[in-house]
Structures are given as structure tokens and as C-alpha cells.
Amino acid sequence: MRNDLLDRLRPRLHALVVSFGAPATMSESGAQARRLRPSNIALAAIGAFFWIAFSIGLRPLSLPEEGRYVGVAWEMLRSGDWLVPTEDGLPFFHKPPLFYWITAGAMRLFSINEWAARVAPLLAATLGAITLYAVGRRWAGDRAARWAALILVTEPFFFAASQFANLDMLVAACIAVAITLAGHAALLVRRGEPHRAALLGAWAALAFGVLAKGLIGIVLPGLVVLVWLATTGQSRTILRLLWPAGILLFAIICAPWFAAVQMRHSGFAHFFFVYQHFERFTATGFNNVQPWWFFIVAVPALTLPWSLALLGSTFKARSGEPAEATLWRRLMWTWLVVVLAFFSIPQSKPVGYAMPVLFPIAALVADAIVARFEAGKRRVRGVAFACAALAVLVCLAAVLYMRFAYHRDNTAIGHELARLRSPADPVVFVGEYFFDVPLHARLREPVPVTGNWADPGIMRRDNWRRELHEGAPFAPELAATLLIDTDRGLALRCGAAPLWVVVKSDGEGRVAALPGATLALTSNRVSLWRVAPADCAATTMPKAPSP
């Protein structure tokens, strides 16, 4: 049976390799695109999926990003409340629930492990890549679409993000699918061909983008498509894309969650839409403050070696090509420029914000490569395959580094806590919220976290303290039991059960001074302590020893 399967696949694989470099005219490319079969899309999807997925579970969850978002999904799974995301039991309204829904569902289906925790970016990356490939075949030609898909999945930035458990790839893929399908629909309108299926897909992608990360899921793709239509003489098509059925589908998909959460928490709408969107966009005090030109430098660096070929792409029409091919290329350029300009405005510039531009970069680099093929420059094929090989090596090197050299997770602490602790034993985090410990230890209840919660400086830094502090007003009674000072936290040892304390190793002095305190494990500069129960009526809390 295996030999029969190989015999069937060998001609397809040979044809795939040959097609990357064989010359073809624009008319031939268009004919190939029109002969697109479901089997071609399926083969491309399978290839993209397994290339991304082969290493997805080889490394621990990184901190803080992956630990935070997977931890929220774990809380959704353990509590059974799929409506309100929570961080340490407190409402976490910084982001909508789509990532948490997918991740919690994957962990329920495939058990709780690193592979399941990264299903959302894996599926999103595959969907985004295959959409760019399938639509690109129609307007840029078969060879350009193949190269675009290959370049996209081997861009080091894309490859890393597709197996990184946060919201960036999910929203980037939704934005990419929305722009690609909206552009496809507009070009179909121009040709007088049926376009409503593509348009419905675009509106659905907009809705899922909003459920992935908020208003940016509709604002950014809408801005890209609007600028493209307005600058390429297609302004009349704008009203055609504002199809009532599409708008209704958008509302049906994303409106119910927002309405339901607002009914449960009356302050949600202001916090989410006003504070998290408009005030955050212009405010200071958030992570990764960078100058305006940051993305212009960072994105080409993170997409090497492919980004060097961008210099060979053009905005102009090429001799003999259909008008739609030119418009498709201009959509890619508009997409790249608008997104980079948009995210260059705020002072906070997390590098993941620029992820939507990875799709047009791949398409434009492919366009430049194919243009040289068609111009008869044979050496370009060897250079292109050398770039592909180098990009693959960079991706594999990153996997090996994260597998063997990354030492910032608390996996060992969580597993040791799960092994030693009885279900009724209290747990406290001292001076830090350890995002991944509740997940790895399978803690069924929120964990008290000690700290100076009256500090007015909490709101000036974008970190775990601010997140928990912002969730407190939505559940004040619960917050009063979780956000506590160190004395109250260590007083949890009073009673019949031992207290388990997780603390950074450089701040464990006060814990070590407690009577009956025993170090259970130290890993990656974090320590787990067991503190024997005590009769607190007869004792006083010890002070930390002098240095």
C-alpha cells in the first residue's frame, strides 16, 4: 500500500518542484489558475499544516505571553464558564474570547499539553496561507501563488508566530483572509462574475477578527481595502462590498458575545471599547515603546532572507499582463504600507502587531521572483531555492534553540506542585503571578497573590499587576480574597493543611524563615516551598532575615 501511495504522489511532487521554476506566459498562468481543483488546495493545506505542526509541541510555554493566554483558556476549561475569560479568577477583558475558545476546546479534545495549547495559531496560519494561495492563483497565476505560499510558511517570523500561543497570529490570519477575500470579491465585481460567496467569507473573517482581538479586526482590513479601492479607480465598488447580507452575517457571528458580557458586567463596554482601544492606542506606559520607524526596520529583519527580494517588486503594470493582475499587486502594496503606517502611530509597538504584513510581503516577493523567471533570468531560480533553504535552516535553528536553550518556564514547578500537594492544601504566589503554574499543577481554584496592591504606580506599567488590578472592579469580593499583602498570604498556613508557596528565588527569604518551611524545588530561578501548618494564635509572622 505504501508503494502505491508513493507512486501516486511522485508525479505530483515532481510537477510541483518543476512548476516553481519553469517559464510560463501570463495566459498560461491564468489558465492554470482557472483549473484549480480542490485536491490542489488540500495538498497545499496539508503541506503547510505539517510543516508548521511538526515542532509545535517540542518546547515549553514561554513567559509571559504563552503562559498568560493559555492560562486564561485553562481557567475557562476548568470553570466551565465559556462566556467571561478570567485571569486568576478575575475577569480578563483585555481581549475577546476566540483564542480562548479554540485553545480550551483543543485542550479538552487532545488533553492539556503544549501541542493543544498552540492549535489556534497553527490553524490560523494554515488558513491564512491557503487562502492567499488559492485566491492568488486566480489573479497572480499558479507559479506566483505557489511561491507566495512557500515564502510565507518559511518566513522565520511567520513560522515562529504560527506556533506561538498568543493572539497575534489568530488576528493576523483573520485580517489576511478578510483582505484577500474582499479583494477577490472586488476583482470579481470588476469582471462581472459571481462574487457574493467571497464577500460572505470576507465578512465572516472580519467578525472572527473582532472576536480575536477587537475592533482592529475590522478597522485594519477595512482601511486597507478602502484605500486600495479609492486609489485604483474602483470607488464605486465600495458600496457593492457593503452588502447587507454580509453585514448581517458579521453581526450574527460577533455581536452576541459582546452583548452577553455587557449584560453580566455593566462596565465591560467602556473598558473594552473606550479604554482598551482608543485610550490604549494613544496612551503611554505600555510595553515596547519604540520610535516611529521601528517596524520599517524590524519587519525586513524578521523576514530575511526573503525581504531582500522586495526591491524587485513593482507597483506599476507590466507589459501584457491583465489589469486584474496589476490591481492584485497594488492591493498587496497597499496592504503592506497601510498596516505599517497604522501601527507606527502609537508609542507601544509589540513586534506581533506587524504580523498581518507577512502575507503581502510573501506575495510581493513571489511576484518579483516570477517576473525574473518570465524575463528569462534563469539564475534567479537557484537564488530563490537557496533563499528557501536558508529560511528553512533559520526556522529549524529557532526550534532547536527554544527546545534546548530556553529556560524561563515554570513547568517543573507546576508538575512538582501537582505531585506533592493534596487537593485541599492552600497555595499562594508571593510577589508574582506565575502564569503557567496553575495550568501545569492543574489547580482548580484561583491563587492568592501577594503584593503592594495599594501602590498607585501599578497602572503605570503594563504587566500582570495591572491586569489583575484592572479585573478587580468586575469582581470586588473575589479580588479582596486574591489580591492581598504578604502577611495575609503567609497566614494561609494557619490551620490543618500545609501551605504551598511559589516565589522567586531571590525573594524567598521571608518564606524560608517560617517555622516548618521546607524547600521542595528550585527551577529557573523560581522556588516551591512547603510550609507546615501552624497555630497562628500563638505565633507572630517572622520578618525577612537581614542581608
pLDDT tens digits, 345-398: 888 788 889 999 999 999 999 999 988 877 767 777 788 888 889 999 999 998
440-450 tens-digit pLDDT: 999 999 999 99
**Single residue among 357, 382, 404 that ends a domain in this structure:** 404
Q: What is the mean pLDDT of residues 245-249?
A: 97
Confidence at residue 185, expressed as pLDDT on a 0 to 100 scale: 97
Q: What is the mean pLDDT of residues 52-60?
A: 90
Domain assignment present for 76 = no
Tell me how many domains the chain contains: 2
Q: Are residues 387 and 347 in the same domain?
A: yes
Domain assignment present for 310 = yes
Q: Are residues 423 and 462 in the same domain?
A: yes
Q: Are residues 447 and 385 in the same domain?
A: no
Confidence at residue 284, expressed as pLDDT on a 0 to 100 scale: 54
Q: Are residues 435 and 376 in the same domain?
A: no
Whether the pLDDT of residue 542 is over 60: the answer is no
Q: Are residues 462 and 386 in the same domain?
A: no
Confidence at residue 408, expressed as pLDDT on a 0 to 100 scale: 86
- pTM for this structure? 0.89
Q: What is the mean pLDDT of residues 225-253?
A: 96
Confidence at residue 31, expressed as pLDDT on a 0 to 100 scale: 43
Distance CA 136, CA 44 (A): 13
Burial of 450 (0-12, 13-18, 19+ CB in 10 A): buried
Q: What is the mean pLDDT of residues 487-506?
A: 93
Domain assignment present for 68 = no
Confidence at residue 537, expressed as pLDDT on a 0 to 100 scale: 65
Domain assignment present for 18 = no
301-343 tens-digit pLDDT: 999 888 888 776 777 767 778 899 999 999 999 999 999 999 9
Burial of 415 (0-12, 13-18, 19+ CB in 10 A): middle
Q: Are residues 126 and 252 in the same domain?
A: yes
SS (H, E, C) 183-230: HHHHHHHHHCCCCHHHHHHHHHHHHHHHHHHCCHHHHHHHHHHHHHHH
The percent of residues in the chain predicted with pLDDT above 90, rounded, is 68
The region of weakest confidence among 205-219, 394-408, 462-476 is: 394-408
**Single residue among 404, 435, 463 that ends a domain in this structure:** 404
Q: Are residues 169 and 288 in the same domain?
A: yes
172-199 tens-digit pLDDT: 999 999 999 999 999 999 999 999 999 9
Domain assignment present for 199 = yes
Confidence at residue 327, expressed as pLDDT on a 0 to 100 scale: 95
Q: Are residues 398 and 528 in the same domain?
A: no
Whether the pLDDT of residue 39 is over 80: the answer is no
Whether the pLDDT of residue 539 is over 80: the answer is no
Q: Are residues 433 and 396 in the same domain?
A: no
**Single residue among 352, 381, 404 that ends a domain in this structure:** 404
Confidence at residue 374, expressed as pLDDT on a 0 to 100 scale: 74
Whether the pLDDT of residue 287 is over 70: the answer is no
Domain assignment present for 427 = yes
Average per-residue pLDDT for the chain: 87
Q: Are residues 331 and 422 in the same domain?
A: no
The region of weakest confidence among 39-48, 150-159, 449-458 is: 39-48
Burial of 293 (0-12, 13-18, 19+ CB in 10 A): exposed
409-427 tens-digit pLDDT: 999 999 999 999 999 999 9
Whether the pLDDT of residue 524 is over 60: the answer is yes
Whether the pLDDT of residue 33 is over 60: the answer is no
Question: 3-state class of 518 per DSSP?
Answer: strand
Domain assignment present for 3 = no
Q: Are residues 350 and 468 in the same domain?
A: no
The percent of residues in the chain predicted with pLDDT above 70, rounded, is 88
Q: Domain residues for 512?
A: 411-538
- Torsion sign (Cα): 60, 61, 64, 65: positive
Q: Are residues 347 and 429 in the same domain?
A: no
Strand ranges in 22-95 using DSSP code E only, listed in sequence order: 86-87, 90-91
**Pick from 132, 166, 163, 162: which is nearest to 149 by CA?**
132
Burial of 162 (0-12, 13-18, 19+ CB in 10 A): buried
Domain assignment present for 212 = yes
CA dihedral 74, 78, 82, 84 (to 10 degrees): -80
More confident residue, 79 or 378: 79
